[in-house]
Structure 1
């Protein structure tokens, strides 16, 4: 229990400062100690919400949450004070404060709202408490001094707590803007890549693997909860949905390709396709069993579909087959134009969407709006949290290889070295890099490949969720809770209607300069050994 040993001589100046704007306080308990914050700083008091962990943040940050469309960092005062941590219960509350930006503090239980006599407020010079006195502005005596040792309530300096726990550098608005260097790096990587290398999005339908050119894929989404049936529609048409203020026909690839039937389920994914280079204005959604990865494939392993297998409209959606893993893995390449040009699909689109002239105008408006108002990101999971990176920064997404080359004396975050079609690529365990609990290898894990600071690097993630266009209006600045976190996680996409928050990563900050040099050294050493 905190105590005060004698009346402080700085009473006047302390009480005057504490009572600027009124001498009312909200009081609460942390363990057996009583604390107070000025009522004018308190925006509201809420029950403990669901929280999302923020990697590389200080331990005192319990997480972030969505509070009516705003991203709210929530600090655990027990951790900030060095007091043993306890789980939350029915009495736990989060006091939401305004200190120029919103911040929440977790308290054990609330006490009261009190109007305090200024003469009872004293300085902190003589207090004895488990809490650092630099975090306390003053104390409120519970009974007059002189009647023995006086019990007291400590007035918390929340600005000092936040400054100490979240020592992030000041960031200018210019630095907070979307990172143009990231886009330029990705564009440069594409320009230096061989013209014979193409990118595809691969997916599974009825245990067979297919792919579409990445330039024809607009986004990948979960199956909508409601799909409106289309009367007298062809068998391949599942129905219509509204996606981003437009009607989208949903087609079953199983039916289009003559494969075995399976009801559409929430585990399926919809690939939104619009042929990129043909002048088409038609956009359709293709139901797949699962999206697998983003492939970079050389033209030397892509073979045209044998003519004898193409008769009229039979199998004309499949234009080529690529041979991977020495021919052990065959991926059928679909022609998006052939899919949307099927007569029955055209009829459904014509009857339920805009005229060609209207579609042309809508496409121009949507393209302009998408460029200005949306960002396209690849979303993946780590330890049940969702993270996103700009799709232009992703070189490819592949399955986790069975065989890794271990590098002696490598940094702990380097899982090993992989051979990616003749290129030595370092593999980083992103869980370990973020200080998360390890995870056993499984089929859902994927490897996301980036080029950072001139080094091609691969990162293990728990799973890839989707490719999504996110309106910039839903993207907020992330709270600055540490220097490393504020560089890497600058923004958060707050999808309040879906109760999702996606932490947007700056790919160039995934590794610092020293770590990038270590990766390059590991690659150079392996290449020299080879």
Structure 2
């Protein structure tokens, strides 16, 4: 990182009695063979090209969003804006951080120097033959003994035609979001109007287990470091740092006496939470091999544990057996509260790990007011989040789906979800991304939006995350469609993560909802 410094020429002219009113300071750089410049007063700093997060439905010239010391920085490729031939980035590539109502970055091939030119040396654009659109220029300067041409760019004009929404300041975006925010209407059509239980299902040693969603606070990826707990029982793997809070991590494999398995990208910690006497909040992480789905299951599918197995080995931890797919799929439903009663867990909790003391009765108010719970999914390498209150369940992608006549291009088809017709859409296509071949990692997130239940195919669901509400901020407004669908962003700068928050209510227009409802009716009539 560097701040552009005044050139020696400026000091020389100052000694000669010239003031800043007589000359313009320019930061010069190259795009190919062409030399360009921005006025020094708008260039805040010069940095190497950072890692960026791709934004769906954004203008083609946007490289992505970067984290600049905790601030979200939109970065544009100046070659794309000027319609110049593209080239690969290399070690000389730099980003000029510019202040243009809001801060943004411009990628250039190579930075040259800071120079000073007399105001009268900057000629009118119309007097010179140029290689870029004259509307983007403030003027042209001839410098040096050979009269080298420097094209002085106007940062405002570069963006105003295609990206006029980006000039909206942060305060305006916050007011707009607050005005448009409304609670989800979860009174839409129910699936087969029966009592259901929502389960988070996961696998341990090829066996499938489930926990009631009400007992699960979040599901998180494992950090790089797990700290040992001296003197702890074998079942306790150690402590992990969860947003500044120490969380005990217990291995379900060891509790259930399965062989150990190396941790991998699929390993997850299912975080349980329990209010203890006196208002003390205890948290515990259960290490599982991988999380499978979030399901709504009928009470008719839940069967008691056979009497002969009650209290025997790991069966003693099981509350019920969930039978799905005509008995071909069995899920052992366990109760999270029982893990807090285990001796090895109590030993760690007694030492203060996983604790949070609050005023009794105020914890729910605190959690709902200060934190937001999100289902995090991936499209390509980028992470997106949907508020958990919109998510009805998360299921695997079936092998076959019914074709939807006259449907939008991002509609995949219809599936039978426990007797109800569920329209399924491709989130990639909705965001203008290339489709993927079907694979085992993909999931359907079933959402209840605007009273309509619909499923959206995503590349993978990676966790359920609680984040402080203060970490949410308005997304840079890069296009009308983008800001409508991705209105906020979570910038977890300490974790080097940026999560784009999907506006669930805006995923489908009124016209698209009407088409889907019509298609559902057509299928019901034909069956």
Counterpart of 2:208 in structure 1 is: 209
The secondary structure found in structure 2 opposite 1:316 is helix
Q: Give me the whole-angstrom Cα distance separating, in 1, the residues matched to 2:179 and 2:300.
A: 37
> What whole-Å deviation, never above 9, does each CA across 1:310-330 have from its counterpart, x for those lacking one?
127752321111111122111
**Match runs of 1:164-175 below 5 Å:** 164-168=161-165, 172-175=173-176
Task: State yes or no: 1:111 paired with 2:108.
Answer: no
**Match runs of 1:188-227 below 5 Å:** 188-189=187-188, 194=193, 196-227=195-226
Counterpart of 1:411 in structure 2 is: 408
**Match runs of 1:336-351 below 5 Å:** 336-351=336-351
- RMSD, matched Cα: 2.8
Contact preservation (8 Å) 2:27, 2:39: yes
> What whole-Å deviation, never above 9, does each CA across 1:447-467 have from its counterpart, x for those lacking one?
111122232111111111111
Q: How far did 1:302 drift?
A: 1.0
**Match runs of 1:362-441 below 5 Å:** 367-441=364-438
Shifted more, 270-279 versus 95-104: the winner is 270-279
Counterpart of 1:333 in structure 2 is: 333
Q: Give me the whole-angstrom Cα distance separating, in 2, the residues matched to 1:112 and 1:333.
A: 66
Counterpart of 1:72 in structure 2 is: 73
Q: Give me the whole-angstrom Cα distance separating, in 2, the residues matched to 1:332 and 1:88.
A: 52
Contact preservation (8 Å) 2:405, 2:519: no
Contact preservation (8 Å) 1:453, 1:516: no
User: 5+ residue gaps in structure 2?
Assistant: 1-19
Counterpart of 2:310 in structure 1 is: 310
- Relative distance call for 1:221 and 1:28 in structure 2 (3 A) is same
**Match runs of 1:54-133 below 5 Å:** 54-133=55-134
- Relative distance call for 1:28 and 1:314 in structure 2 (3 A) is closer
Counterpart of 1:519 in structure 2 is: 516
> What whole-Å deviation, never above 9, does each CA across 1:150-208 have from its counterpart, x for those lacking one?
76322212112122232438555322239642x3324x459999561121111001101
Contact preservation (8 Å) 1:316, 1:338: no
Contact preservation (8 Å) 1:80, 1:165: no
Task: State yes or no: 1:462 paired with 2:463.
Answer: no
Contact preservation (8 Å) 2:54, 2:63: yes
Counterpart of 2:272 in structure 1 is: 273
- Relative distance call for 1:88 and 1:20 in structure 2 (3 A) is farther
The secondary structure found in structure 2 opposite 1:431 is helix
Counterpart of 1:472 in structure 2 is: 469
Shifted more, 127-136 versus 365-374: the winner is 365-374
Counterpart of 1:259 in structure 2 is: 258
- TM-score normalised by the chain length of structure 1: 0.87
Q: How far did 1:45 drift?
A: 0.9
Contact preservation (8 Å) 1:50, 1:65: yes
- Relative distance call for 1:330 and 1:21 in structure 2 (3 A) is farther
Q: How far did 1:143 drift?
A: 7.9
> What whole-Å deviation, never above 9, does each CA across 1:299-358 have from its counterpart, x for those lacking one?
11111222221127752321111111122111111111222222443233224448xxx8
- Relative distance call for 1:178 and 1:397 in structure 2 (3 A) is farther
Q: Give me the whole-angstrom Cα distance separating, in 2, the residues matched to 1:20 and 1:425.
A: 68
Counterpart of 1:247 in structure 2 is: 246
- Relative distance call for 1:59 and 1:353 in structure 2 (3 A) is closer
Q: Give me the whole-angstrom Cα distance separating, in 2, the residues matched to 1:46 and 1:244.
A: 29
Q: Aligned pairs, how many?
A: 503
Contact preservation (8 Å) 1:167, 1:483: no
> What whole-Å deviation, never above 9, does each CA across 1:421-468 have from its counterpart, x for those lacking one?
111111111122222222221111111111222321111111111111
Contact preservation (8 Å) 1:447, 1:460: yes
Contact preservation (8 Å) 2:174, 2:474: no
Counterpart of 2:152 in structure 1 is: 155
Q: Give me the whole-angstrom Cα distance separating, in 2, the residues matched to 1:275 and 1:438.
A: 42
The secondary structure found in structure 2 opposite 1:274 is strand
